[in-house]
Structure 1
Amino acid sequence: MTTTTQSYKALTDESAIALAESLNFFSQGAKLESQEIGDGNLNYVFKITDGESGKGLIIKQALPYAKVVGESWPLTLKRATIEANALKKHGEFVPELVPAVYATNEELAFTVMEDLSHLTIAREGLISGEAYPKLSADIGKYLAKTLFHTSDFALHPFEKKRLAVEFSNPELCKITEDLIFTDPFFDHETNDFEPELQTAVEAIWNNGPLKLEAAKLKKSFLTEAEALLHGDLHTGSIFASETETKVIDPEFAFYGPIGFDVGLFLANLIAQAVTREGEKREAVIRHIENTWKVFSSTFSELWEEKGIEAFKDTKGYKEFVLEKIFQDAIGFAGCELIRRTIGLAHVKDLDGIEEPERRIGLKKQVLQTGEALIVKRKDLPTIAAVIALVEEQN
């Protein structure tokens, strides 16, 4: 259902409850409670619950600025519509892996969706030592199905180009361009890191070959409209349990290179692997391996069964496509590792390490791994080779 209103106004607990009541989602006369649970940088998130039955829903509202900075960093409200439409589009292919969308409102920039509070944000669970046995298989399938089905390999070119226009997302893409591909490689004011990392960071800024490869990856991100991406697929954008996985927050969705989503997810697993030890570390390493294994096998099956590309049966073409996706993914993963360590937006996997000497040492390892993945990506033919590189750096 799509609702309309006159002008934008930030929701409150009271107005969020009134909105929930208007949707007839709850029983007549239900005593509803509201809690603002958003911990991200860009949005309000209200959890509306019937205290008696426990039934709930989520109302997510985009803010016209970035919470992490304030009103001095204005943002388009269109991202709320993009996010809702991306959830719906991806839900056509993997309905079991995304939350259901109940209602949207473009003017108020909100989306009403399924309550996933019975699950845990994967980043938090991984940090606390959870294994999430289905995580990599589910995300590998999510990546393969959403990316293949929204690409030229599966769509008539008219439909694919229509979707590319619908999901034009220049403002949020500019955030990605700057924070992942540009600022960490230069002495930019948005960068944020401990003084103990200064020497390692300056080595990145002065590494010409590394910066050349980063520039190539940025060019791919800017110019290759291959498929509808999630655009920000990290472990904080995934709810999980032992038996269930749900991908959330595709407000950065746009048409870009297939390897980008794959690379971001792998990078966040790699960062987690660096901080773990023993069996817990091995569990994350297995997730890294299995993500690519499931993605490539599922993508290959879709290629054979549903591909419409005229050259799909040409010997070697599928392998060429998968090789390019893999190399792109590894390079993008390297950029993500560097930016999560010294850029504006960090991750708790690293910043949450309380002992300073250990935290700095692990951050240096993450930076070294990121650099190696970017520069050596064409010399890493398999996911096993990538894992070996990660092990070498640690």
Structure 2
Amino acid sequence: MATTLKQAYKPLNEQTVVGLAQKLKLFSDYQNIKVNEIGDGNLNLVFRLIEADTGKSIIVKQALPYAKVVGESWPLTLDRARIESSSLIKSAEFAPEHVPEVFYTDQDLALTVMEDLSSHVILRKGLIEGVKYPHLAQHIGTFIAKSLFYTSDFYLHPFEKKELVQTFTNPELCKITEDLVFTDPFYDINTNDFPSELKEAVSKLWNDTLLKQRAASLKYKFLTRAEALLHGDLHTGSIFVTETSTKLIDSEFAYYGPQGFDIAHFFANIALNHASQSFHISDNLRREEYQSYLLSVIKDTWETFTAHYRELWKTEGVESATKLPEFEEEILNSIFTDMIGFAGCEVIRRTIGLAHVEDLDSIEDFNGQIELKKRVLKLGSDWVKNAERIKNIDEFITYIRSV
């Protein structure tokens, strides 16, 4: 790893990022470096540097001191760059095949130099286009099982676990989740974003006292339960894929939280894509077949996750409680119930909150889009309110089919 370059923070541009690469000796020929700023997210600059003669490429990701989606009126901590790089490095200890390799980090410049994943595509875009990824469920289920177990009290010495909790304390980005996922969508707050045609459905949601109580309970779990290291924002836009490879990116929201959170966000976004295919795929047979594939991704991911988690619990657990089979079942049941509630919050906020999903918003039939969003809001509400009544993954999938 290159020596740290101590200097004051300043946003990079296409010229200065080449100078940085030269100082770090990342290429051999700096006269023929092609640079593109490819960031399409809300929080960062992302540069791809390619050496013309060799084709060697890297990604330089730099945090901005504000949210791009709003502007400088929404300041953000630069420490999230440290959180992200530390999360990737930690994940590489137990699942290096599922995260980009980190080559260099600089806390002063709030940047990370990492592996270029241009051979991959963003999962969300692939799913909207109806592409199947045969290893996706196995990869995600395995990664989440390893990530949760290897960063938990069931595997780590208590001192090491508590040190990691401190390392990944992430108050500013957690506050974004607390507001945009668990609070704002359930109240008449100006960060919400939806067309007037949804006003009646949204007003019904805002007046549902039970829904708001259950959402508050889920928020409390998010605030207080430091169970394992989470990615923190594991939607289908944070996953790069090929037919044989799955890589998780954008982990600046990483922190210690409840174990059901990450898998809930993955499932919620798969469910939203499942619903949207009613408009993206016109052929009935092909649509039904692809929607069945999406449901199999959810079921296979859950079954892969539980199988790997059980095996790690059995073979590598160090906490005395891992010798109690009944306690293993209690933990997995708790993860499952939490997952359903968290998934419901994610579905609601992706429909009427600040940050939407292309799966729904790209539907050209506006009236159809509105009707689908009404159904999706009901799905999310049902999950939040009925989480404890849903007993297994097949019942969870039945709700998705109903949309």
Given the two structures, how large is their TM-score scaled by the length of structure 2? 0.96
Deviates more, 1:365-374 or 1:59-68: 365-374
Contact 1:122 1:240 in 2 (8 A): yes
Matched residue of 2:28: which SS? coil
Match of 2:283 in 1: none
Contact 2:184 2:191 in 1 (8 A): yes
Match of 1:228 in 2: 229
Deviations 1:61-103 (A, max 9, x none): 0000000000000000000011000000011010000000000
Match of 2:282 in 1: none
Match of 2:178 in 1: 177
Match of 1:296 in 2: 306
Shift of 1:390: 1.5
Matched residue of 2:181: which SS? helix
Match of 1:195 in 2: 196
Match of 2:281 in 1: none
Contact 1:164 1:254 in 2 (8 A): yes
Match of 1:285 among 292, 295, 298: 295
Letter in structure 2 aligned against 1:65? Y
Aligned residues: 393
Letter in structure 2 aligned against 1:44? L
Superposition pairs of residues 1-394 of structure 1, within 5 angstroms: 1=1, 3-28=4-29, 31-276=32-277, 277-392=287-402, 394=403
Shift of 1:136: 1.4
Letter in structure 2 aligned against 1:284? L
Shift of 1:29: 5.0
Deviations 1:95-141 (A, max 9, x none): 00000000001011000000000100000111111111111111111
Matched residue of 1:77: which SS? coil
Runs of 4+ in 1 over 4 A off after TM superposition: none
Shift of 1:315: 3.4
Match of 2:280 in 1: none
Shift of 1:30: 6.0
Distance in 2 between residues matched to 1:343 and 1:376, nearest whole Å: 22
Letter in structure 2 aligned against 1:34? V
Shift of 1:309: 1.5
Shift of 1:26: 2.0
Cα pair distance change 1:29/1:109, threshold 3 Å: closer
* Unaligned runs of at least 5 residues, structure 2: 278-286
Letter in structure 1 aligned against 2:290? K
Shift of 1:22: 2.4
Contact 2:145 2:306 in 1 (8 A): yes
Distance in 2 between residues matched to 1:88 and 1:229, nearest whole Å: 13
Contact 1:17 1:33 in 2 (8 A): no
Root mean square deviation of aligned Cα = 1.0
Letter in structure 1 aligned against 2:363? I
Contact 2:240 2:246 in 1 (8 A): yes
Distance in 1 between residues matched to 2:30 and 2:36, nearest whole Å: 19
Deviates more, 1:337-346 or 1:269-278: 269-278
Letter in structure 2 aligned against 1:358? G
Shift of 1:391: 1.3
Contact 1:4 1:106 in 2 (8 A): no
Distance in 1 between residues matched to 2:325 and 2:303, nearest whole Å: 21
Contact 2:18 2:30 in 1 (8 A): no
Distance in 2 between residues matched to 1:295 and 1:183, nearest whole Å: 31
Deviations 1:318-371 (A, max 9, x none): 000000001001100000000000000001011111110111111111111101
Distance in 1 between residues matched to 2:243 and 2:345, nearest whole Å: 30
Distance in 1 between residues matched to 2:160 and 2:396, nearest whole Å: 36
* Unaligned runs of at least 5 residues, structure 1: none
Contact 1:45 1:60 in 2 (8 A): yes
Distance in 1 between residues matched to 2:357 and 2:30, nearest whole Å: 42
Distance in 1 between residues matched to 2:143 and 2:101, nearest whole Å: 15
Matched residue of 1:266: which SS? helix
Contact 1:136 1:287 in 2 (8 A): yes
Matched residue of 1:329: which SS? helix
Shift of 1:28: 4.3
Distance in 1 between residues matched to 2:133 and 2:317, nearest whole Å: 32
Distance in 1 between residues matched to 2:54 and 2:395, nearest whole Å: 51
Distance in 1 between residues matched to 2:52 and 2:376, nearest whole Å: 44
Distance in 1 between residues matched to 2:31 and 2:391, nearest whole Å: 58
Matched residue of 2:260: which SS? helix
Deviates more, 1:333-342 or 1:273-282: 273-282
